[in-house]
Amino acid sequence: MRYQQVCLEAIGYTLPQEVVTTDALERQMDPVYGRLRLPRGRLELMTGIASRRFFPPGTLPSHVSIQSGQLALQASGVERRHIGALIHGSVCRDHLEPATACHVHHGLDLPSACMIHDVSNACLGILTGILQVANMIELGQIRAGMVVGTECGRELVENTICRLNKDRRLSRQDIKSYIASLTIGSGSVAVLLCDKKLSQTHNRLLGASVLARTNHRQLCQSDGLQSFMSTDSEQLLHHGVAAGAENFAAFLDEAGWTRRQVDKTICHQVGVAHRRLLMEALDIDPQIDYPTLETLGNTGAVALPLTLALGAEAGHLQPSDHVALLGIGSGINCQMLALEWQRHQVSGRVGIGPVAEDKCATNNGDPLAVAGATA
């Protein structure tokens, strides 16, 4: 896939206020740790994740997605009348029907002619939505579109801890399939794309490549982020990295880049071992990558675009950078997108509330709480 007309114009994001450390989670697991004689600290050592954030219990994804969408619209300056497509791409949804995108569409007061739907593709849902919107823009069907999603991982983590503590039949080997569930965090992001004639940033989407290795579809299975997830983490790591390495050559061809012309990378956030092995397999210097997994954990489909937003705010991305978005998700699916970066328009906040209430939420000095559109 190659693009001539598409720009990634703005990103809005919302982070939960509540920070939950990995140490705090392990303290909740004292019953199973004591029974199996497991040393506390092993979870952070294995994953590299020191903390994650949770939205309040009962938070509806659409409620936060509306807030992130409003922030993206404000940052972009694109008029609502130009939004021709809205896609909700997170694993978490309000309910099976109607589409969660319906609630977000209503909350954002978007045009009635706007095409709306949900996309489900595990941790690649938002990237998949970006490609769908980009295709519509490239074909001239719409001038702008938004992809949004919110992951609420609290219930999955809490349910997993409850099961580990109560099920005395579980062995050390058995609990390995639950480790990935304990890495999950929460977050929300909205990505606004538009045709280059509307763009102020000129962050061009150049191309994308996809690869499906569905013979490994059984390695990570879940009946929803709010319930239980079973993951063969070792095999998923091995086959996921292999799929990424295989897809990378096609990605470079679609982007028109050599390996050394990749200036920056943004990856799906899983764990330190996954990041290290992927960088090695792609022969990429880890210094050009921007990680957030240490403090946010794995936030599902929002992880990569949220990390892109935070990396832009932190100054990781510079004008004319060739940026590779490297997504690998269960299935196994691999999607890689090429951006030619120029300037960022990012607006974010920590905590849930009316966006108009405060455009610069500081959250008591939290460095992740900086908000406001920045050129």
Q: Which residues are catalytically annotated? A: 97, 123
Task: Assess contact for 149 and 188: CB atoms under 8 A.
Answer: yes
What is the DSSP pairing of strand 322-329 with strand 264-267?
Answer: parallel
Beta-bridge mates of residue 192: 10, 146
Helix (H, G, I), strand (E, B) or coil at 59: coil
Tokens found for residue 157:
């983590």
- Distance from the Cα of residue 141 to its chain's centroid: 26
Please count the other Cβ atoms lying within 10 Å of the Cβ belonging to residue 295: 18
Residues 168-190 as b/e (b if ≥16 CB within 10 A, e otherwise) read eebeeeebebbbbbbbbbbbbbb
Contact 113, 84 (CB under 8 A): yes
134: closest CA among 341, 374, 343, 339?
339
CB atoms within 10 A of CB 357: 9
